[in-house]
Structures are given as C-alpha cells and as structure tokens.
Amino acid sequence: MARITVNSESRDFPSPLNVAGLIQLLGKNPKYLAIEVNEMVVRRDEQTNHELKEGDRVEIVTLVGGGSDPAPPTDKPLKVGSFTFKSRLFTGTGKYATYDGMKDSLAASGCEVTTVAVRRERLVDKEGRNLLDYLDLDRYTILPNTAGCFSAEDAIRHARLARELLSNLGNPGSKWVKLECLADKKTLLPDPIDTLKATEVLVKEGFEVLVYTSDDPVLAKRLKEAGAASVMPAGSPIGSGQGVLNANNIRIILEYLKENDPDYPVIVDAGVGTASDVAFAMELGCDGVLLNTAIASAQDPVRMAWAMRNACEAGRWAFQSGRIPKKLYANASSPMEGRIAPASK
C-alpha cells in the first residue's frame, strides 16, 4: 500500500499504481479531467506510464458550472384595455427625416403599436404624401394622441376627431387615445388638472384612455381611479433624452397602481435617450415603454430601433428574473470548495 494525497485528502492505495489506474479506481472519466502530480501536469498520454509512489500529491481537476441551453423566455401578453400585444415597445411616427425611414424603423423596432398626432401638418408632408400611406394598418394598431393640446377641451376635441378618422379606416385604434394635456410649450409637462378632467370626460364617452402624466404617484392613482386604461408617467421631459430621472417615484407609482391589480399597465412615456434607458424602465417593473425621438433623431434610426427592441425584452426578462441584492463586499462566482492546493514553498 502507498499513502497518496488526492485533492488534499490522504488515502491508502494499492501499490504499484499508475495515474490511469488511480482514475479508474476513483470511477472517473479521464476525458473530463486534468491531472497534476507533485505540481507537475501529467498529460493523458503519459498517465499509464506515470507510477505513483508514497507521499505523492495528486490534484484532479475538472470544470464546473454551465448548464443546458434553455428555451427562450416566455411571457404573458401585454393587455391594455381591450387590446393585447406581444411587443411591449410602443413607438411614435414624428421627427423622421423621411417616411421611408420611419417605415423601416418601425419594422425594426418590432412594435405593434405606433402613435399618430391628429394634426394636419403631421399627417401630410410638404410633398403631399399622407403618413397613413406608410403605415401598414394590418400590422400596426394606431394609437392616436392629442399631442400639442394645452387644454382639456382641445384634447377632447382631438380625441373625437381621431375616433372618427380611424373608424373610417377600420382600424381598431378608434377605440382608444393617448391623452396629452400640456401645461406650456417650454417644458411640455402635463397639466395635472386638465389631464384629470379630460380623462374623466373621455372615459365617460367610451374611450380607452392612455394618459401621459408626470411621475407624481398621487396623480397617477387619481387617473387610474378616473378609469384610465393605462397611466403613462414621463421618465423625463419629452424629447430630452435624459432617461428615467426619478426612479423612486416610478417605483411608488407601480406600488400604488398594482397593489390590488398586478396586471394594470404602467408604461413609461417620454424622455428616453438610448437603449439602457428602456432596459432600466423595464427593470423597474414597468409594463412597456413608449418612445419616439430616441429612434427618429438617432444618427442611425433603424439600428437604434433594433437596440430599443432588444433592450425592452432584456429589461423585461431581467425584472422577471429577480436581480441579485447589492452587496458591499465581493462574493466569488466560482466555488471556494475544490480549489487546487496552494503551491508548496
């Protein structure tokens, strides 16, 4: 018998014994192992000829971790009022250099919903082409918005006109409206009083109202109570590209609106600048993101649209996965057990 140390454990083995015989005694597959004897690697083709002797130190090393390839994550569809969608990214149609560029960018984004402002100067360009000629109404559900309205009365009027227009086109978007009631032209912040007033009126008229609002949790709660199909807090001012400036308020809005209604859709609207902003909003637990300028004004809108699409999915999956807690000190990802014995001095 010979006493040999294997992975820091001293054991008696029959003698004579070579490395290949040791592996066989231990019931291991040599293909998956690397062997070191007295801190010198013994190659596989040398293991039969390498005899072990009393006092030898053997390290047997394999790889850990990994796992089988999982199927792509599945998710329940996003439900907003009577509408159901797979994509959680909503886009806009404004600010594109060309209608062709808009068309390509919408396709790249994977969106199923795109917003349109009900204003003559936004529907027809200087060459007389109509925006709707570049939107596949079988592919996209049009979400009319009341962009540019600075009073409840104007917003209500625009919503009624949008319903008439989309009803004539046979698009299901005639059922709903993205409500914007702005306070002033400099900040484009929502007017809380007129926003709530217009919501109450439009809900009574049978609209499914998606409401652009500030990140005020109390107002968000009031808008839901007024019957809004979705509350859409701004991440930051419209078109600013600053991302989500007040994550704590968004968290409180989510808590307020989902406490007894976990599927109530909260969609961040406005202020997104790049893909990480979208991912962050989704990681907070928001149900979707609506954006326009971040794609339309990018140097490469189509490429940015792809980025936003992937960021929306990644952020959603990350939220559903449950992130690890933040810790003050390091926590090794490789196991501390089974380490190779320190080299002798």
What is the per-residue pLDDT across 208-264, written as a single tens digit (0 to 9) for each?
999 999 999 999 999 999 999 999 999 999 999 999 999 999 999 999 999 999 999
Q: Does domain 2-61 have CATH number 3.40.50.1370?
A: no
DSSP notation for 298-320: SSSHHHHHHHHHHHHHHHHHHHH
Residue-wise pLDDT tens digits, 6-62: 998 998 988 899 999 999 989 989 888 999 999 999 999 999 999 999 999 999 998
CATH annotation of 78-321 = 3.20.20.70
pLDDT higher than 80, residue 123 = no
pLDDT higher than 90, residue 129 = no
Cis? peptide before 144, omega within 30° of 0: no
pLDDT of residue 336: 66
Distances (CA, A) of 329 to 115, 325, 333, 343: 46, 12, 13, 27
Q: Give yes or no on whether 2-61 and 78-321 have one common fold.
A: no
pLDDT of residue 314: 95
Domain ranges of the chain: 2-61, 78-321
Within 13 Å of residue 320, how many CA atoms lie on the same side as its CB?
11
Contact 202, 219 (CB under 8 A): no
224 is catalytic: no
Residues sharing a CB contact under 8 Å with residue 59, sequence separation 6 or more, in sequence order: 7, 35, 36, 37, 39, 340, 341
Given the residues 53, 178, 185, 326, select the one marked as catalytic. 178
pLDDT of residue 119: 59
Closest by CA position to 149, among listed 115, 114, 121, 184: 184
The span from the CA of 196 to the CA of 212, in Å, is: 10
The span from the CA of 81 to the CA of 103, in Å, is: 26
For residue 214, give both structure tokens. Answer: 């500030």
**DSSP element (H, E) containing 21:** helix 19-25
Percentage of residues of the chain with pLDDT beyond 70: 92
The span from the CA of 318 to the CA of 291, in Å, is: 20
Read off the pTM: 0.76
The span from the CA of 227 to the CA of 202, in Å, is: 9
Residue-wise pLDDT tens digits, 55-90: 999 999 987 765 556 677 788 999 999 999 999 999
Mean pLDDT over the full length of the chain: 90
Q: Computed from CA positions of residues 164, 167, 169, 174, in that sequence, does the dihedral angle turn out positive or negative?
A: positive
pLDDT of residue 125: 59
Residue-wise pLDDT tens digits, 155-184: 999 999 989 888 887 777 788 999 999 999
